[in-house]
Amino acid sequence: MKALTLTAYHQFQFGDAPDPAPEAGDLLVRIAACGICGSDVHGMDGSSGRRIPPLIMGHEAAGTVEAAGPEAAAQGWKPGDRVTFDSTVYCGECDFCKAGRVNLCTSRNVLGVSCGDYRRHGAMAELLALPARIAHRLPDGMSFEEAAFAEPVSVALHAVSRIPVQKGDVAVVFGTGIIGLLVLQALKRAGAETVYAVDLDEGRLRLAEQLGAAAGIVSTPDAAAQIRERTGGRGADIAMEVVGISPTLKLAVESVRVGGSVGLVGNIHAEATLPLQAAVTRELTLYGSCAVCGEYPEAIAAIADGTIQVKPLISAVAPLAEGSDWFGRLYAGKEDLIKVILQP
């Protein structure tokens, strides 16, 4: 098969790679579309430690079943089925999996990740073998490009599911990258009445407004004060931090009301400074969110019914053979590229 392989940091090779070897419970999927995730871009330079070469990256994808192992076939899977799939490969047997918290599986690994503990090739290739238990069928009318968003949409839905959203709540999202824009829409879907978006990029703020934000607010030290002013001095009920750095975490804490909720989604940095006294004395609740925990069916439904819009987030669709160039452009950050989708 053909694949885009990270052979060394900042270096890709497009060419032949060994065909995957499916096991009895696996599906062999012919990939039709695969998005470049921000974590792939951060991984290609070695900064995250989770894309150790050589590696075929990619975990936001969709395609068609090429073959089903005997156990998968017994579950009803067959060639020609249109699918997307979870990025997390969970065991299904540990205590967390049995409790339904598959994102916390003790032996979890992630497609397109190599972190020292394991290497699991991903979907930037013509073919991918994966356990049938992480696959989900697609509705007939959904394009593969739209379906490739099922993973990030599920991430956003899971993050919002961690928060006790009440109908009519006021929320604020810090960060309007791909996940932030999806979290914004997931909050609206969950019942939040008013959602503000905060970012440095004014173009992204305008897009956030098109996707349902009540207003886009430029990220400055007084952004939290602006949120309080817009809420009559009370503060937002919910703040979602989707960047992962100290300045935006500080703003998130400062922007919520007494007894409010702060969702922690971004993790660009391994550590960030928390305004501890403000969190304690105002009795805030912090909710960490990791990956996806059963949200794929809802994500597929939300994309299909348009309550979460993904088409406005597609910046380019390009051949997998041009993937190296697109990685370079995303890494340079000189263009307003939200989501680039590669087609094998």
List per-block mean pLDDT (blocks of 10 residues) for the chain, which spans 344 residues: 98 97 97 97 92 98 98 98 97 96 96 95 98 97 98 98 97 97 98 98 97 97 96 98 96 98 92 96 97 97 98 98 98 96 97
Exposure string over 7-26, b if 16+ CB within 10 A, otherwise e: eeeeebebeebeebebeebb
Q: Which residues pair with 319 in a beta bridge?
A: 343
Calpha distance 181→201 (Å, rounded): 13
Which tokens belong to 242? 């989707």
pLDDT, position 269:
84
37: CB partners within 8 A, 6+ apart: 58, 59, 60, 151, 152
pLDDT, position 264:
98
pLDDT, position 116:
86
145: CB partners within 8 A, 6+ apart: 33, 314, 317, 341
Exposure string over 264-278, b if 16+ CB within 10 A, otherwise e: bbbbbeeebebbeee
pTM for the full model?
0.97
pLDDT, position 268:
84
Calpha distance 265→174 (Å, rounded): 10
**The tokens 């013509």 sit on which residue?**
126
pLDDT, position 342:
98
Q: Which of 155, 124, 167 is nearest to 5 (CA)?
A: 124
Q: Which residues pair with 286 in a beta bridge?
A: 262
Q: Write a three-state SS string for the chain.
A: CEEEEEEECCEEEEEECCCCCCCCCEEEEEEEEEECCHHHHHHHCCCCCCECCCEECCCEEEEEEEEECHHHHHCCCCCCCEEEECCEECCCCCHHHHCCCHHHCCCCEECCEECCCCEECCCCECEEEEEHHHEEECCCCCCHHHHCCHHHHHHHHHHHHCCCCCCCCEEEEECCCHHHHHHHHHHHHHCCCEEEEEECCHHHHHHHHHCCCCEEEECCCCHHHHHHHHCCCCCEEEEEECCCCHHHHHHHHHHEEEEEEEEECCCCCCCCCCCHHHHHHCCCEEEECCCCCCCHHHHHHHHHHCCCCCHHHEEEEEEHHHHHHHHHHHHHCCCCCCEEEEEC
pLDDT, position 331:
96
Which tokens belong to 214? 């009540």
pLDDT, position 117:
92
Single-letter residue type at 163 = I
Which tokens belong to 231? 């809420």
Three-point CA angle 268, 300, 77, nearest 5°: 110
Calpha distance 116→43 (Å, rounded): 13
Whether the Cβ atoms of residue 22 and residue 148 lie closer than 8 Å to each other: no
Whether the Cβ atoms of residue 20 and residue 130 lie closer than 8 Å to each other: no
Q: Which residues pair with 88 in a beta bridge?
A: 110
